[in-house]
Structure formats: structure tokens, C-alpha cells
Amino acid sequence: MRFVMFCHSLVSDWNHGNAHFLRGVCSELLARGHELAVYEPHGAWSRTNLQAEHGQAPIEEFARVYPELHSTTYDPATLDLDEALQDADVVLVHEWNDHALVRRIGLHRRDGGRYRLFFHDTHHRSVTEEKSMAGYDLSHYDGVLAFGNVIRDLYRKKGWARRAWTWHEAADIRHFHPIPDEVEEGDLVWIGNWGDDEREAELDEFLLQPVHDLRLKARMHGVRYPDRALDRLRAARIHFGGWLPNYRAPRVFARHRVTVHVPRRPYVQALPGIPTIRVFEALACGIPLVSAPWNDAEGLFTPGRDFLVANDGGAMRRHLRDVLHDPDLARALREQGLETVLARHTCAHRVDELLAIHAELEGEPTHLRSIPA
């Protein structure tokens, strides 16, 4: 089949975690013999910021690491949808796209497009920016691929889309896997963006203070760290490594003994059951994980076996101390977390799910003019 994807960026993962999963899905589709075309807008903020900070080198490195992946940059004013969507069988439009483009693609489908058309939602904006999300015209889309049941149910309840399915993110195990025999560089590593009001207090309680109190040799990577955040890292004696290309994360994990998951507040309070892709990726790399509290409402993992859960800062300190001083516990977490990912949460599993959704729609007409009452 021929797949066409419209996303914010495939090439840049600067403050753009959605690129992680999309790269894995694209690689898996190509490995199975499908055709693929990816479109990203010229001047996308992630790629623009990446090049402003690091020049062209990360773009060239991406091409070496993912030689199979290519994207076409376009100007929305001159994008020829007839050309882009020619012979398409499945079209995925990510929710970071402009409202006007989402509507244009829907109208193209209405006016004779013979492909299946899906809107792909991987963010908390359906709760935190409801007006913006309600403004997407999905009336001519087959449905929404939502990365959690609660978001899927919001689309159904609010009538924003004809249908919605759950399509969780997952690990790209072509790149995310254990790397043996790396030289140890430290105790703890954390990879993620600061998050400002969405998790600043949580980072202090579940990461900075435990590292300081346990005197751990720790490292943090990410972008958009304000000066006050960098000051707090220095006070906790944490080394800040800046932006890290996502595909380098497995080697960094392999050089440390434990990592931590600190979810953003909207996921904890309003969107239970949705971890960030960092959880899938860390477990796929075989590094023990200790998580701040989140409700695994969909049973993706087995908390306590795949990873440990710390309900407060004191518990985080205890769990980190245990993992770092109990080799049997660390080994059990590494093995069980990896086993769960390989059994259920790889990009290959998600492509299977996507193809199953496509098969579910077989026999229905491909162009439908309105959402049924």
C-alpha cells in the first residue's frame, strides 16, 4: 500500500517528541514493503530551532542514522494535494498541522479521494486547548488515531470525529535496545524538557531533590531550560547536557544505572493511562526505571515489575537507593521491562494495529460527505 503522512517534522526532534514514534512507524512500513511519502512544512518551529542552535550537522546525522527515511518540505500556499495524494491508500495527518491544511485534506478526500484518512492525536491539547482542537474540521476523515483511551473517548463524546481508535505510541526497537559493554559514566540520567508549569514542582520533588540528597552522579538532557532551572540543576550538582538527538539516547542509557519518569501534570490529572514515549524507549533499552505517580488505567505495564512507582519524594529516594545497591532488583527490572515492551509495545505492534484498523474499514465507501447523526 501507499502511505502518505503529514507531520510537523520527521527530521527534527528538537522539543518534538512525536518525531520519535513517527520515525519508528515509517521505518516499519518501509521494511514491510509499503510505499511512503512524508510531508513537513517549510519553516517548522522544531527544525528551525534545531538549525539555529546546532546548524546543519544534526540534519546530516539524521540522514546517516535513518537512511531509509525522507521527507518533503512544502509551502502550504503552493502545496498540490492532487500530486501529494496521488495513488494514496492511507493518509495520516498529525494534530500539529495547521487547521487550514487539515480541512484542505478533508475536502480533497470528500471530492473523490479513494484513500483512508486519519487524524493522529498525540498530545494533551484535547483537554488543555479544547477550543483549538474542536476547531479542526474532521468531517471527511475516517476517524482519529488517539494515543490513549481517554483522548479517544473525548473525540467520540464531543462529536469531533466520525470514529476514534486508541493507537498508543511505542518503542522503535531498531534503534532502542540494550547496548552491552558500554563504560559506565554515572548513576542516573534523565532525558526530557523542563516543562515549566506543567511539571516544575514535580521535577524538584522526584528528581532534583533525590539526586541531591543521595549524592548521585546525574546527568540531564533536554531543551527549553530557563536560567532558574539551570541554577537548580547546578545546586543539585546535576550535569546538564543540553539537547540530545533521540537516536543517541540508547547509548546514554547504557552508560547509566537508572532513569526516572516524571510525567507532565495534564497527563496525571486529566489523561490517565497515557505515558510519554520515554517510558517505552527507556524500558526497550533495558535501563531500570523509577516513575513518579501516574495511573496506568489501560494496563499497558505492570507497575512494580516493569518499573517502580514512587508516590512521593521520600519513596523516590528509597527506590533509587534500592536499585543502585541491589543488583538483583536492577536486573529484574531491566529484564521484565524489556520483555513487556518486546511483547506488546513496539512500532511493529502499532503498524499491525494500524493495518487492522484499515482492514476493519474494508467494504465501506471511501468518500463520505458528512458525519452521520
Q: How confident is the prediction along the chain (373 residues), in pLDDT tens digits per residue?
A: 999 999 999 999 999 999 999 999 999 999 999 999 999 999 999 999 999 999 999 999 999 999 999 999 999 999 999 999 999 999 999 999 999 999 999 999 999 999 999 999 998 888 888 888 999 999 999 999 999 999 999 999 999 998 999 999 999 999 999 999 999 999 999 999 997 677 899 999 999 999 999 999 999 999 999 999 999 999 999 999 999 999 999 999 999 999 999 998 877 877 888 888 999 999 999 999 999 999 999 999 999 999 999 999 999 999 999 999 999 999 999 999 999 999 999 999 999 999 999 999 987 876 543 333 2
Task: Output the pLDDT for position 370.
Answer: 38
Question: Is 192 a member of any domain?
Answer: yes
In terms of domains, do 197 and 150 share one? no
In terms of domains, do 126 and 30 share one? yes
In terms of domains, do 42 and 142 share one? yes
How many angstroms separate the CA atoms of 249 and 136, rounded?
Answer: 34
Q: Which domain CATH number covers 335?
A: 3.40.50.2000
Question: Is 84 a member of any domain?
Answer: yes
In terms of domains, do 149 and 235 share one? no
Task: Output the pLDDT for position 252.
Answer: 98
In terms of domains, do 13 and 32 share one? yes
In terms of domains, do 352 and 328 share one? no
How many angstroms separate the CA atoms of 368 and 112, rounded?
Answer: 9
Spatial CB neighbours of 180, under 8 Å, sequence gap ≥ 6: 254
What single-letter DSSP state applies at residue 346?
B
Question: Is 23 a member of any domain?
Answer: yes
Helices then strands, each counted (H, E), the chain: 17, 13
Q: Which domain holds residue 298?
A: 186-344
Task: Output the pLDDT for position 362.
Answer: 87
In terms of domains, do 146 and 214 share one? no
How many angstroms separate the CA atoms of 320 and 180, rounded?
Answer: 22
- The beta strands (E) that lie in 183-302 are given as 186-191, 218-221, 238-240, 256-261, 289-291
Question: Is 370 a member of any domain?
Answer: no
Task: Output the pLDDT for position 76.
Answer: 94
Task: Output the pLDDT for position 202.
Answer: 94
Q: Which domain CATH number covers 59?
A: 3.40.50.720
In terms of domains, do 42 and 143 share one? yes
In terms of domains, do 159 and 28 share one? yes
Question: Is 179 a member of any domain?
Answer: no
Question: Is 122 a member of any domain?
Answer: yes
In terms of domains, do 57 and 92 share one? yes
Q: How many domains does the chain have?
A: 2
Question: Is 40 a member of any domain?
Answer: yes
How many angstroms separate the CA atoms of 276 and 345, rounded?
Answer: 13
Task: Output the pLDDT for position 267.
Answer: 74
Question: Is 274 a member of any domain?
Answer: yes
Predicted TM-score of the model (pTM): 0.95
In terms of domains, do 116 and 239 share one? no
In terms of domains, do 289 and 145 share one? no
